[in-house]
Amino acid sequence: MTPTINDLVADLTPVRRLTPAQAWTMTLALTIAAILTIYALFGLRSDVMAGQPAGIVVLRAGALLLLGSAALTAVIAAARPGVGQTSHGWRWALGAALIFPLTSLVIMLAERRLPMAELTSPNGPWCLGISGVSALAIGTALTLWLHRGAPVALNRAGWLVGLAAGSFGAFAYSLHCPSTTIPYVGIWYTLAVGLCALAGRLIVPRFLRW
């Protein structure tokens, strides 16, 4: 039987509103937890521990934080829809982050050779694995939070959850990552974040349908 207005009113209970602070707190807490876990299991970079990180470490961490923050902002907007309310900042952040793979491409073309050292780096799979596991935790929490909301763009929400989770997960890994070359960032970090975004697109929408 289709519920009437009377039924809905009778079923009314106070609800806890979805707020951006909930999503931010949850994401940052899980990112910090990921960093602490990585620190406990693998250790962090010595320059990071000394408070004097190399320039490339700051650059990649900054790009990942920016991308993750922009994607998370879009996820939050998706949870609380409204016609005419758009959140496209993540596109600019993604464009900025793409500077790493693009620079890698330019370097490769200039040197006329593949970056074999980076392509065959033993750290690469670790980058994917640690970033992916961290992203899994963050993405799962974000998906559960988003499920309470009313996302009307499920595929895009999936991409964004994956992008945000992948960016924060890769950020956590970046504080351990021994590599300091741009091609490494352009290859492995791009792959890690890209795979997380793809996984979000493929997996998350089915948990968001309403």
Which residues make up the interface to other proteins (CB under 8 A)? 2-5, 8-9, 11-18, 79-86, 148-150, 152-153, 155-156, 210
DSSP secondary-structure letter at 149?
Answer: S
Closest by CA to 151, choosing from 95, 198, 87, is 87
Pull the structure tokens for residue 101: 């793979």
Q: Are 138 and 27 in contact (CB under 8 A)?
A: yes
Q: Are 82 and 160 in contact (CB under 8 A)?
A: no
Please identify, using beta-carbon distances, which residue of 8 and 110 lies nearer to other proteins: 8
Residue among 79 and 161 whose Cβ is closer to other proteins: 79
Nearest residue (CB) to other proteins, 18 versus 191 = 18
Length of the chain: 210
Q: How far is the CB of 18 from other proteins (least distance, A)?
A: 5
- In the complex, the smallest distance separating the C-beta of residue 13 from other proteins, rounded to whole angstroms, is 6
Q: Provide the minimum distance between the beta carbon of 205 and other proteins in the complex, in angstroms, as a whole number.
A: 11
Here the tokens at position 76 are 């939050």
Cβ-based nearer residue to other proteins, 17 or 113: 17
Q: How far is the CB of 167 from other proteins (least distance, A)?
A: 21
For residue 158, the minimal CB distance to other proteins (Å) is 11
Measured from the CB atom, is 66 or 160 closer to other proteins? 160
Query: Letter for the amino acid at 76?
Result: I
- H helices of 18-151, in order, are 20-41, 46-49, 55-79, 89-97, 99-111, 116-119, 123-148
Spatial CB neighbours of 141, under 8 Å, sequence gap ≥ 6? 26, 27, 30
